[in-house]
Amino acid sequence: MNNTKGSVLVIGGGITGVQTALDLADSGFYVYLVERTAAIGGVMSQLDKTFPTNDCSACILSPKLVECGRHLNIQLLTLSELVSLKGEPGNFRAVIRENPRYVDANKCIACGMCAEKCPKVVPNEFNNGLGTRKAAYLKFPQAVPLKYAIDAKHCIWLNKPGRCGACAKACPAGAINFDDKPKEHILEVGAVALALGFETYDPSLLDFTGYGRLKNVVTSLEFERLLSPSGPCLGHMERPSDHAIPKRIAWLQCVGSRDINRACNAYCSSVCCMYAIKQAVIAKEHAAGHLDATIFYMDMRTHGKDFEKYYERAKASGISFIRSRVHSVWPAGQAVHTQKGFEYGHDLLVRYSDEDGHLHEETFDLVVLSVGMQLSASARGLLSKLDIPLNSHGFVPFSSFSPNSTSKPGIFICGPVSDPKDIPQSVTEASSVAAEISALLSSSRWQTTKTKEFPPERDITAEPPRIGVFVCHCGINIASVVNVKEVAEYARTLPGVVFVQDNLFTCSQDTIVNMVATIRREGLNRVVVASCTPRTHEPLFQETLREAGLNPYLFEMANIRDQDSWVHQNEPEKATQKAKDLVRMAIAKVRGDQPLSANVVPVHKRALVIGGGVTGMVAALSLADQGFPVDLVEKAEGLGGNARRLYRTWQGEEVAEMLQSLIDRTTNHANITLHSSTTLERTSGSVGRFKTTLSNGKEIEHGVAILAVGGQPWRPSGEWQYLYGEEERVKTLLEVDELCMADENVKATGRSPLLSQLNHVVFIHCVGSRIPERPYCSRVCCTHAIDQALKLKELNPRMNIYMLYRDIRTYGQREILYQEARAKGIVFIRYDLNNRPTLTKDGDTLCIGAMDHVLKRPLVIHPDMVVLASAVEPRRDAGELSKFFKCSINAEGFLMEAHAKLRPVDFATDGVFLAGLCHYPKPLEESIAQAKAAAVRAVRVLAQDVVPAESAVAVVNPAKCVTCGVCAKICPYSAISKDPVLQKASVDASLCKGCGACVASCRSDAITLKNMGNEQIMAAIEAAMCNCGG
């Protein structure tokens, strides 16, 4: 009998928990998502924009929240916390307490009357205390669930029954329930995922920053709210004290991070450098250029994908970067001494010393403290309840080889619970945890899930068009430029339009529910949404149509944000005119839209993994453990890839042993077929039904593919060669790792190790990284070099070690290694690109020339060994390989994911995923997490029997086709072939992606794209050209 439960408990409703829940629910498990506050979304919902793409945070998060809220197999438990957890992996019993909301969620229609009438004004914690809300409140405009709640601590009635009750009188739905009591839920689950998130460091503990005393000193999270359209100043960026628009803003880095003095947080928080740069860039946009932005930093840590380019762009745009640890923030100007103490103005004075040791004073209007990350008290309490210990830095310890497991089997961690990390990495880990759980509970897949039933589709063939138009404000993204009301009024005048509505956020849950009701009530049979891009939002709206009983293809989007308000910020009138034009075109086109039948492709439940390094093996094993057969293709003879040359991780775990067990498991796993010394010959097909031919002649049919083709160390050359290859005392990090491993063997035989005989060793950082040819940081080398230096110090404590570096980027708890290295007397000397170290040979003596950055004097070192921390670069054949699956690569040659923030392991091509070094340089634990994440993303496909395919496909009119064959040649998806009977071109609907290339190529006008026919295109063009009012 199968005792394994098919449901999962996810604790924490931030983006990490949301991603875990979605991945698990789509892979066949029922998920309970427990959130402590009144709505899911976490810190990401508070952010304004996200780096490095400057995407609107709410805009990319909101669809996920809505999906979570609507998902049939996710049950949201808000205002809830875990009381107890008992049991074992596969079979836990969790008790959850759901605190009273005092608003009946089934009755609440989110009209907001309760909040409007509530007399009690309290600080708004969603805005970090900037601005106010009522005791009856909605956490934020796009909240999921979109239900009001009453704050028991502040509600007048709940504290003194009978005194108020204004909300209950105002509520038209009768949803207010002052007698609401805590509810207890007993859940039987197979596994638990902890996505407990983080809180920002409270800088009021550092009184010299003035935080809490000086109103215009704010934390970075508060500044996000000041920038945000849903924030206290509606996105107009005002400073708190006098609502003036700041013209000079300073960011102070490392507040509560890398500080062992008052803050007691020794680690680096990893994300603050990037968010500070982003905030400076966005603030500059807000101020239309009239802003002096200065960032005071210690080391600039832009170690993620495309971060370094972002940093360079920020420098070029005039943002000042000053390397200085500012010790105090004072009020500027003359302070007036009164009996009550000092009184002073609004501006702030920052005094700092530059790198030459000169003192400077600068006045700012606003100072932003880049506060670090730490676990919240409630997270720590929960972990201690679960008996999961924390390390001395207050994080959950983890193994680099299994980064998401805890000391308790069946309980997994993801996100910043184990180490500070950014959104893409948290999202990756969220999927990685889903993979672990999916493997653990694979025997109960689809056992406890429910299936969605859509209402039958309404037949609209005989109906004249009844078009509904929904115009979106997108907060202020659209409404601050385009006159949305005017566009809506204009749409009302167009033929066929019977209903028009404008919404603050059309994608919010209440609007979606409302839209379903409206479609039914008004009998709409075509829908136009004028908002953002179909790339992110079309699936959501199409599903909304299905729920209302309409065919999802009776829908068009007019992109009045990306293609209008964002690009015409300075011309609001013309932008409004353009919005009208775009809406008119969409309406003209939607009129001709016809219902299309759903197209599905059966899934080959088999995966292809390319690359037999650690990433490829972990991905293959994860898939195999989740119950799916895998073909693992490796170009080389043996498995292991780059990891074979690695000695140990930064946490001191030796790699060789782990690697061997990984190789053994991979070779012996019943679900894995290994193809070594093999490459790909060709691939055809699409998600669900790929067909790949290997160089060993085998042909594999597979539903998904994971590209884990790895990277390689760059071979130092040109001006970065440093005698490498000519002089055997010059080595790379990996070569020294090999020596370390050899040393271990030597030690075992009792002979004196080779490395311990060295007296002077110089490490040169950033060899080939962060230069115009390779404008990225290789992420792993700082930590690797410092760890290696520490190893050398272990072997010979008297060894003199010098590190020539540009910025030390030991992010997260790796920072401890850096501190240890300094404590052990390793000398750190900074260089910049204009003053690179030189290496020459004087007879047989090596001479390193460098400039000491503190003394400003030239310096000569005669090392016994020089170690080059050379760049990690993508494999040259990665580009070739990506073409097989129509995936793209970025300018540096790394494979490009579908979305830098929220889809870090997916490709834009469905059914193909990526992981490891081919995505970006990264350490083992991140590669492993990515491999597992890619595996579960693949399982989301493999777990289904069929996948939906494009319905708007090309169709050939055989009467017109002349069988010239041009279309078949031009089709990038090999979807067109000659029909053997008719001898005419014929389109395989399951392969066609609806790109339209064949339509344009056909000389006989024989091919049409469904819902994109000539009549419709011409109608849209005519609508664009006619100056019919508006």
Partner 1 sequence: MFYAVLEGLRRFKIPHNFEFVSIISLYARWIREGRLNVSSAWNTEGLKFTVQDPCKLVRQGIGDEVAEDLRFVIRQVAGEENFIDVWPNKSNNYCCGGGGGALQSGFVQNRRACGKAKFQQLQATGADVVITPCHNCHTQVKDICDHYNGKWQTTHLWNWIVKAMI
Positions touching partner 1 (CB under 8 A) are: 205, 207-208, 210, 213, 260-262, 264, 328-330, 335, 337, 339, 341-342, 392
Distances, alpha carbon 895 to alpha carbons 710, 713, 886, in Å: 10, 17, 11
Residue 187 contacts residue 9 (beta carbons within 8 Å): yes
Provide the minimum distance between the beta carbon of 110 and partner 1 in the complex, in angstroms, as a whole number. 44
Provide the minimum distance between the beta carbon of 583 and partner 1 in the complex, in angstroms, as a whole number. 56
Nearest residue (CB) to partner 1, 262 versus 485: 262
Nearest residue (CB) to partner 1, 335 versus 962: 335
Q: What single letter denotes the amino acid at residue 85?
A: L
Provide the minimum distance between the beta carbon of 335 and partner 1 in the complex, in angstroms, as a whole number. 5
Provide the minimum distance between the beta carbon of 218 and partner 1 in the complex, in angstroms, as a whole number. 18
Written as six digits, the tokens of 100 are 């009273």
Q: Is 992 helix (H, G, I), strand (E, B) or coil?
A: coil
Nearest residue (CB) to partner 1, 205 versus 854: 205
Provide the minimum distance between the beta carbon of 342 and partner 1 in the complex, in angstroms, as a whole number. 6
Nearest residue (CB) to partner 1, 264 versus 946: 264
Nearest residue (CB) to partner 1, 266 versus 771: 266
Burial 950-979 (b: 16+ CB within 10 A, else e): bbbbbbbeeeebeeeeebbeebebbbbeee
Q: How far is CA 676 from the centre of its chain?
A: 34
Provide the minimum distance between the beta carbon of 205 and partner 1 in the complex, in angstroms, as a whole number. 7
Residue 475 contacts residue 235 (beta carbons within 8 Å): yes
Nearest residue (CB) to partner 1, 334 versus 570: 334
Residues 6+ apart with CB under 8 A from 595: 457, 460, 461, 551, 553, 554
**Helix pair 220-227, 272-286: axis angle to 10 deg:** 30
Provide the minimum distance between the beta carbon of 350 and partner 1 in the complex, in angstroms, as a whole number. 11
Question: How far, in Å, CA of 22 to CA of 434, rounded?
Answer: 9
Strands 55-56 and 74-77: unpaired
Provide the minimum distance between the beta carbon of 20 and partner 1 in the complex, in angstroms, as a whole number. 31
Identify the CA nearest to 271 among candidates 436, 109, 43: 43
Strands 845-852 and 320-323: unpaired
Question: How far, in Å, CA of 696 to CA of 706, rounded?
Answer: 19
Question: How far, in Å, CA of 532 to CA of 534, rounded?
Answer: 7
Identify the CA nearest to 803 among candidates 854, 756, 869, 744: 869
Written as six digits, the tokens of 764 are 């040169």
Provide the minimum distance between the beta carbon of 208 and partner 1 in the complex, in angstroms, as a whole number. 4
Residue 528 contacts residue 590 (beta carbons within 8 Å): yes
Q: In DSSP terms, which residues pair with 252 in a beta bridge?
A: 296, 369
Nearest residue (CB) to partner 1, 208 versus 454: 208
Residue 503 contacts residue 445 (beta carbons within 8 Å): no
Q: In DSSP terms, which residues pair with 803 in a beta bridge?
A: 763, 828
Provide the minimum distance between the beta carbon of 390 and partner 1 in the complex, in angstroms, as a whole number. 11
Nearest residue (CB) to partner 1, 684 versus 819: 819
Nearest residue (CB) to partner 1, 119 versus 212: 212
Provide the minimum distance between the beta carbon of 260 and partner 1 in the complex, in angstroms, as a whole number. 6
Written as six digits, the tokens of 451 are 């299936």
Provide the minimum distance between the beta carbon of 247 and partner 1 in the complex, in angstroms, as a whole number. 24
Nearest residue (CB) to partner 1, 106 versus 392: 392
Identify the CA nearest to 774 among candidates 849, 835, 720: 720
Question: How far, in Å, CA of 112 to CA of 138, rounded?
Answer: 8
Nearest residue (CB) to partner 1, 337 versus 798: 337
Nearest residue (CB) to partner 1, 260 versus 567: 260
Cite the DSSP H helix spans in 366-446: 377-385, 423-440
Burial 681-695 (b: 16+ CB within 10 A, else e): eebebbbbbbebebe
**Please, is 222 exposed, middle or buried when counting C-beta atoms within 10 Å of its C-beta (0-12, 13-18, 19+)?**
buried
Q: Is 929 helix (H, G, I), strand (E, B) or coil?
A: helix
Nearest residue (CB) to partner 1, 391 versus 696: 391
Question: How far, in Å, CA of 472 to CA of 622, rounded?
Answer: 42
Provide the minimum distance between the beta carbon of 653 and partner 1 in the complex, in angstroms, as a whole number. 25
Nearest residue (CB) to partner 1, 261 versus 834: 261
Provide the minimum distance between the beta carbon of 32 and partner 1 in the complex, in angstroms, as a whole number. 35
Beta strands in 215-266, from DSSP E residues, in sequence order: 217-219, 248-255
Provide the minimum distance between the beta carbon of 202 and partner 1 in the complex, in angstroms, as a whole number. 13
Phi first, then psi: give them for residue 766, nearest 5 degrees.
55, 40
Identify the CA nearest to 19 among candidates 945, 922, 929, 933: 933
Nearest residue (CB) to partner 1, 328 versus 840: 328
Nearest residue (CB) to partner 1, 210 versus 713: 210
Number of alpha helices (DSSP H) and beta strands (DSSP E) in the chain? 24, 54
Nearest residue (CB) to partner 1, 95 versus 260: 260
Distances, alpha carbon 800 to alpha carbons 755, 792, 870, in Å: 13, 10, 21
Provide the minimum distance between the beta carbon of 821 and partner 1 in the complex, in angstroms, as a whole number. 19
Nearest residue (CB) to partner 1, 335 versus 1018: 335
Provide the minimum distance between the beta carbon of 128 and partner 1 in the complex, in angstroms, as a whole number. 22
Burial 252-286 (b: 16+ CB within 10 A, else e): bbbbbbbbeeebebbbbbbbbbbbbbbbbbbbbbb
Question: How far, in Å, CA of 76 to CA of 40, rounded?
Answer: 9
Provide the minimum distance between the beta carbon of 351 and partner 1 in the complex, in angstroms, as a whole number. 10
